[in-house]
Amino acid sequence: MSAPLVIAARDTLEQIDAWGEHLRGERRLSPKTLEAYSRDLEQFLSFLTGHIGNPPTIADFAAIRTADLRGFMATRRSSGAGARTLARGLAGIRSFIGYLEREGHANGAAFRAMRSPRQPKTLPRPLTAPLARRVVEMDEQLDEEPWVAARNAAVLALCYGSGLRISEALGIRRVDAPLDPSATLRVTGKGGKIRLVPVLPVVAEAVGEYLRLSPSQSKPDGPLFLGVRGGPLKARIIQLAMAKLRGALGLSDSATPHALRHSFATHLLANGGDLRAIQELLGHASLSTTQVYTAVDTERLLAVFEMAHPRGSNRPG
């Protein structure tokens, strides 16, 4: 870790060098992390130099208040830094202050009292309905063993057709195999919470085809989905199968098994599904978690509007 380009007092530079040796030797951080931490601290030193009117000393670091940190964050925001950049940028500064505190040179209370910026919720990226249907079809599965192709299709069908997490699909017992489209499936979700989800005919057919082709089946209380060696199917196997489909169908890296669950919710909402009902189907404890899909659908509607309206900015010609 090189000394910062911004001027600092001699005692501060000495502590920065010692901190760098600590990170390299005892913490064994990667060169990229060291570079990022150095850049974080350099930005803070630049702010402090202008804020206090002189190159910062260790005494200046010891006197830092929460208000000073807020001023630094406000300066970074005004330069265009977003919430993620700000949160990541605090990492190196907090590391240095933590080192100074352990060495008895500063008090990190102000930094502990400073909350990281609230991160914006990442909008899920659903597949289009035609692509989601292709992904869950047995004929699209890229495996030479028909029963494996049927198994993968059945798991993915549960993710898209019933909105299951991949762990929930793989947690289904053989005795609870969803073969009756008129029934509901009991699913054990996060925190052991039980919910009921519908079984579409296409999902029941996919599971039935897997059981018909499977060379071995577990005991009634054993897992429904098995690996090629007869043990419980691992989520990684389905993730790899989905990766193959991404390559074959030209899908983006965001097209994962979990994206099928997002697609389930988004497509229900787009076709008039009630938000509360979708919350129950997904097993979300809070409605606010489900409401992220309203933003997804709003983005889709705005995109359609921009393309279709005569004055839309994205309209061709």
- Which sequence positions are flagged as catalytic? 165, 190, 258, 261, 284, 293
* Distance of alpha carbon 131 from the chain centroid: 22
Distance of CA 78 to the CA centre of its chain: 27
**Residue recorded with tokens 């053989």:** 174
d(CA 149, CA 169): 16
302, two tokens: 């705005």
- CB neighbours (10 Å) of residue 139? 7
Q: Which residue has the tokens 């597949």?
A: 127
| DSSP one-letter code for 316 | -
CB-neighbour burial class of residue 126 (10 A; exposed 0-12, middle 13-18, buried 19+)? buried
Closest of 176, 149, 175, 148 to residue 162, by C-alpha: 176
